[in-house]
Amino acid sequence: MKYYIILIMACILTFTSCNRVMDTKPLNTYTGSDVWSNYDLAQGYIYECYSNCMGYIFSWNYDAITKSVRNHPWGGAFTSEKTEQIDRNNDEGWSAFGNIRRVNLVLKNTSTAPFTAVQKSTFNGEALFLRAAIYSNLAFRFGGVQLVKEVLSVESDFNIPRSSLKDTYDFILSDLDSAANLLPQTNERGRATKGAAYALKMRVALQAGAYLNDNNYYRAVRAAGDKLFALGQYNLDDYSNLFNAYSSAVASTENILILERKNTNTDFTSTPMQWLVCNSDQISSKLTAAAMQKYPLKESIEGWMNYAPTQDLVDDYLVTDTDGKEKKWDQTSYITTAGSAYEKMYKNRDKRFYASIVCDSSKYFGNWAYLRADGNASSNVQPLNGGNINGGASVTGYLFAKYVYQAKKLWYSDPTDFCYSVLRLGEAYLNYAEACIRLGDEGAARTYITKTYQTHGGFKNAIISANEDLWNDYRRERHIEMILETGDRYWSLLRWGMQLTGGLKQGYENTGMAIPELNGKQHGIAISSDGKSYQVFEMNEQNGQPLKFTPKRYLFPVPQAKIIALPSLSQNAGW
């Protein structure tokens, strides 16, 4: 069967190895036989697969479903999901099968291609890795799904039923085992390696263990982690290097797999920066007279505010108190001895706080950001009573610094480089720690939690807690370590809730745990104009509703339109 490969060029603008081939005839005239008889064209096709598929495993804004992130008036996704105003007609990402076909085409065609054994092995390993990435995304959202293992033709039977959750997870993990065997230990930047296969397996097996209530999957997490760590090629880096500058992110030895965007085809609107940065200027249409006088801006800030951190997130960044111990900010001696709100709350925090959060009186691009009453970066809504009047400022008292590069002024149409962290060692350590807790090995869990706690958090003490206190320390550590990465906060809350219910079982939509961190009101902080007093306040979501989670949402609904089109598909419980 012949098929036409269109738009390869869009995905290989930064890869010059294909130039010789691309100069020979019009791009849209290349057939499947052309592609799989020429290594450069086949590599271009692989690049296209990466472009289409990588988004399934980094999902930077998916944490907006949780209390940790507040959607803002200028935009922001997932408000309907987090207030549970969705029904069976919603499509939460079911339609991924076109990309599954794309990677299956690689597996079909490389066997007869005139490539070296190493080239074939790498292509097949990458295809299996990407197929596992797509299916892991589907399994996290929907549970068991249709498993398409081969390229379908017009003569194929498309009446493929959903596989069980166990069969789906086992298929994914099998693909990752095969990928790890085929992939090289090192590859071009942004392409899968053995380490990437091991790291993704750890993430997937951890979720499978909770939903299937099976310790064998936690053992698989540990086994994959042992292989990953034995490679000896990844090291924890300074946290800010991963998220606050492009040059340090792409060079970091902590990153196992990245998605890199070059300024030749990327501007600020194509990155999280545009949606995390506020919008403010020294003009009366944006700031009150009091704000311009008290807290003037040196340069305009041109983001399109969609998301901001909440007090619910900020509370989990610990403070080193005068006695050298780490504590919650409201339990330190600074609460009674310090004079300003900044000194009470924001001094001596976890290093990740400063790399992730912009709080009141923080350096912000070429300015000092004030998120207090009359502040230049806080909304004028009550009780903040900030100085920004155009809806483009924080309603929580905070902004995100994570994934924001402040060295260059943000302007929506300007070109910029950007680097997403897709898989990294810090997450792998925490996945390993959680599996150890589930298997009763608290000593190993403490060792691996301490790694990120000390290196990324900057703390001198080690994690020494046990039992329930250890579990709480782990949950807090994961919250602040992984915010805005891969939807980790949301998937972790589901996983932990499912662990308490004993796994996915008949009737879970009625008997499963309704997760507290996904229910109720979010919190912000309002600081007085003089910066001395403050109040923590409650707020609903952007649509005026509190967060709502009922147990049926442990799995999203299969879109009803898909079931109508293919009646053999079953609907998830409760929808």
- Give 133-180 as a DSSP string: HHHHHHHHHHSS-----S---TTS---PPPPPHHHHHHHHHHHHHHHH
Q: Where are the beta strands (DSSP E) in 245-315?
A: 255-261, 279-280, 301-302, 307-309
pTM score? 0.94
Other CB atoms within 10 Å distance of the CB of residue 252: 22
What are the CA-CA distances from residue 517 to residues 55, 73, 521 (Å)? 26, 22, 9
Go through 169-180 and write b for each residue having 16 or more CB atoms within 10 A of its CB, e for each that does not.
bbbbbebbbbbb
pLDDT score for 35: 87
Please write the tens of the pLDDT for every residue from 346-367.
999 999 999 999 999 999 999 9
Burial classification of residue 235, based on how many CB atoms lie within 10 Å of its CB (0-12 exposed, 13-18 middle, 19 or more buried)? exposed
Please write the tens of the pLDDT for every residue from 31-60.
567 789 999 999 999 999 999 999 888 889
What are the CA-CA distances from residue 10 to residues 3, 44, 264, 472 (Å)? 18, 10, 11, 46
Per DSSP, the three-state class of 403 is coil
- The pair of three-digit structure tokens given for residue 76, joined into one six-digit string: 């922001």
pLDDT score for 154: 67
Go through 288-314 and write b for each residue having 16 or more CB atoms within 10 A of its CB, e for each that does not.
beebbebbebeebbbbbbbbbbbbbbb
pLDDT score for 75: 85
pLDDT score for 511: 67
Cα angle vertex 415, ends 6, 480, to 5°? 100
**CA 350/CA 480 separation, integer angstroms:** 9
Measured torsion, CA atoms of residues 93, 84, 516, 489, in degrees rounded to the nearest 10: 30
The set of residues, in sequence order, having a beta carbon less than 8 Å from that of 83 and lying 6+ positions away, is: 541, 543, 545, 546, 547, 548
What are the CA-CA distances from residue 16 to residues 230, 418, 477, 482, 572 (Å)? 34, 20, 42, 34, 46
What are the CA-CA distances from residue 76 to residues 12, 47, 117, 226 (Å)? 30, 29, 46, 39
- The pair of three-digit structure tokens given for residue 34, joined into one six-digit string: 């052309």
pLDDT score for 31: 55
The secondary element (H helix, E strand) that includes residue 37 is: none
Phi-psi domain of 135 (left: phi exceeds 0; alpha: psi -120 through 50; beta: other): alpha
**CA 102/CA 106 separation, integer angstroms:** 7
Q: Which residues of the chain have pLDDT under 50?
A: 1-30
Q: Which of 338, 330, 312 is nearest to 489 (CA)?
A: 312
Length of the chain: 575
Burial classification of residue 321, based on how many CB atoms lie within 10 Å of its CB (0-12 exposed, 13-18 middle, 19 or more buried)? middle
DSSP 90: -
The secondary element (H helix, E strand) that includes residue 518 is: none
Q: Which of 532, 22, 46, 309 is nearest to 317 (CA)?
A: 309
Burial classification of residue 146, based on how many CB atoms lie within 10 Å of its CB (0-12 exposed, 13-18 middle, 19 or more buried)? buried
The secondary element (H helix, E strand) that includes residue 40 is: helix 39-53
- The pair of three-digit structure tokens given for residue 442, joined into one six-digit string: 């608290």
**CA 432/CA 218 separation, integer angstroms:** 8
The set of residues, in sequence order, having a beta carbon less than 8 Å from that of 337 and lying 6+ positions away, is: none
The residue ranges of every structural domain in the chain are 263-416
CA 437, 438, 444, 450 torsion: positive or negative? negative
- The pair of three-digit structure tokens given for residue 550, joined into one six-digit string: 């009922």
- The pair of three-digit structure tokens given for residue 47, joined into one six-digit string: 């690049």
Please write the tens of the pLDDT for every residue from 98-156.
999 999 999 999 989 999 999 999 999 999 999 999 999 999 999 999 999 998 876 77
Compute φ and ψ for 97, nearest 5 degrees.
-75, -20
Burial classification of residue 26, based on how many CB atoms lie within 10 Å of its CB (0-12 exposed, 13-18 middle, 19 or more buried)? exposed
Contact 149, 104 (CB under 8 A): yes
Is the peptide bond prior to 383 cis by the omega test (within 30 degrees of 0)? yes
The set of residues, in sequence order, having a beta carbon less than 8 Å from that of 247 and lying 6+ positions away, is: none
**CA 498/CA 212 separation, integer angstroms:** 9
pLDDT score for 34: 79
Contact 409, 416 (CB under 8 A): no
Please write the tens of the pLDDT for every residue from 447-467.
999 999 999 999 999 999 999
**CA 412/CA 275 separation, integer angstroms:** 10
Please write the tens of the pLDDT for every residue from 539-557.
999 999 999 999 999 999 9
